[in-house]
Amino acid sequence: MGKLFGTDGVRGVANTELTCEMAMRIGMAVASVLTQNKSKKAKILIGKDTRLSSDMLEGALVAGICSVGVDVISLGVVPTPAVAYLVKKYKADAGVMISASHNSFEFNGIKIFSAEGYKLPDDIEAQIELIVLGETTLNIENIKYSDIGRRSYKENAVDDYIEHIITTINGDLKGLKVAFDCSNGSASRTASTLFSKLGVECVMLNDTPNGVNINDNCGSVHIENLIDYVKSHNLDLGIAFDGDADRCLAVDDIGNIIDGDFIMAICAKALNENGMLNKNTVVGTVMTNMGFNRFCTDSKLNFVSTKVGDRYVLEEMLKEGYNFGGEQSGHIIFLDYSTTGDGQLTAVQLLNILKNKGKKLSQVSNLMKKFPQVMVNVKVSNEGKLKFCTDEEIQNVIEKINKEFVSIDSKENSGRIVVRVSGTEPLVRIMLEGEDLDKITSLANEVAQVVKERLS
C-alpha cells in the first residue's frame, strides 16, 4: 500500500482529504502514465457513483486529463464493473471510476483501470503516486492550446453493459421473485432494467439516490432491512449491492444471510459440475471462512488464498490461469465474463443456478458450514496505520493468541487470527475464527484493547 493508494484506489473524505486539486493531479498523472507513447489521440473513460461529491471530482479529473492532451468520455452514473468492461469494449486507454464503494456519502474515491479492464499493479500505481505527490516532475509545457483534450458523453454506456451481463447465461430467469437493494448507489441506474429484461419479478429497494443517502442504512453493509422484507413478503430471495455495485450479498427465502463465501461455494460447485472451473481451483483470501476450506476439501476442489483485496485475488487468477475467485465481502470474479468483481453479474449467475436446479437458495446453501467468526474494527490515526506492523506489543499479543489456539485444540484448522490494516478506511481490522464463539470473542476484545492503547 502506498501513501495515496490503498487496496482499492485512492479514498478519503471529499473536499477535505480527497480534494479537487488532488483529483486534477491524479487525472494528469493517470493520463500521462497510461497513455504515454501513443501514436493516436488517447482517450480515458470516466464513470461515477451517486455521491454528492462525484460531479465535483469528475470535473477536476476531466480538467487534469484534458490538460495533458487526452480525451475524456463520460459514462455518467454506472457500476464500477461497467467501467472495467467498457474500457476494453470502447478501446479506451484507461478507465476511471469515482466511488468510495461501501463507505458513507462523505467519502469518495478514485479507482483506475488499464486498457484491458484490470486494476493497476502496484508499480504503476507507484508511478502515478509520485507524480501526484510532486516527487516526479510532470512536464506539460509541450501541450499547446490546440492539443488539449476534449470531453464527450456516451449515452448508451449503461445499455452496452446490461446487454453484456445478459449474454453470460442462456435463457431467462422467469419465475423468480427477488428483492434488490440498490444501496441508493450505482445499481439504481442498472438493476431494474437488467433483471426485468431477464424475466425476474423484481422488487426494487433503495433505488432513489439523492446524493447523500448512498449506503445509508441499506445495501450490502446494512442488510437487516432486506432480511425483514424478504421474509415478510414471501420472496424467493433478496440481493443487496454496495454503493458501486461491484459486490453483492444475498438473503435466502427464510432470512439467512448468504455471504460471499457461501455464494462462492454454490457457484464453484455449479462451475465444477459443468466442467467450467479451471484447474479445479477457487481463489479466496486470508479472510475466507475456514468452513469454505472444508467445503473445498470435501468437494475435491483446490483452494488458493491471497491477501485481502479483490485485486490480489485477480492477480493470482491471471498468474496461474484460474477463472473463479472472490471475497467473503461479496467481491466475486467470474474471469470468463469480467475483469473485476461484479455484483450484478454474480447475482445473475446465482439466480441462474437456482432456476436450473429448481431449488430455493436455502436448499443449496447448506453445502458449507460456516465457522463462528468475530470481527472487531478499531479506529486508528493515519500514523497508527503506519506503525501497526512495527509495534512490538501488538505483534506479541497476536503471536500469543496464535500459540493459544494450538494449545486449545491441536486439530487442524481449529482456529486462527488475522489482524490487518484496512486498505480503504482508518481502521485496524481484527478477525478471529474458531469453533468456540465465546473464546474467540474474548480473544478479539483482548487484541482490540491493545490496538486501541497503542495506535488510537
Q: Which residues are catalytic?
A: 101
How far is Cα of residue 162 from the mean position of the Cα atoms in its chain?
19
Q: Where are the beta strands (DSSP E) in 183-256?
A: 201-205, 237-241, 248-251
Residue type, 340: T
SS3 38: coil
Is the distance from CB of 391 to CB of 280 less than 8 angstroms? no
Q: Residue 46 corresponds to which cell in the numbers above?
A: 470516466
Is the distance from CB of 26 to CB of 38 less than 8 angstroms? no
Q: Identify the H or E element spanning 228.
A: helix 224-232
Residue type, 424: T
Instruction: Please give the angle made by the CA atoms of 305, 311 and 314, to the nearest 5 degrees.
Output: 65
Q: Is 114 left (phi over 0), alpha (psi -120 to 50) or beta?
A: beta
Is the distance from CB of 303 to CB of 293 less than 8 angstroms? yes
Is the distance from CB of 180 to CB of 191 less than 8 angstroms? yes
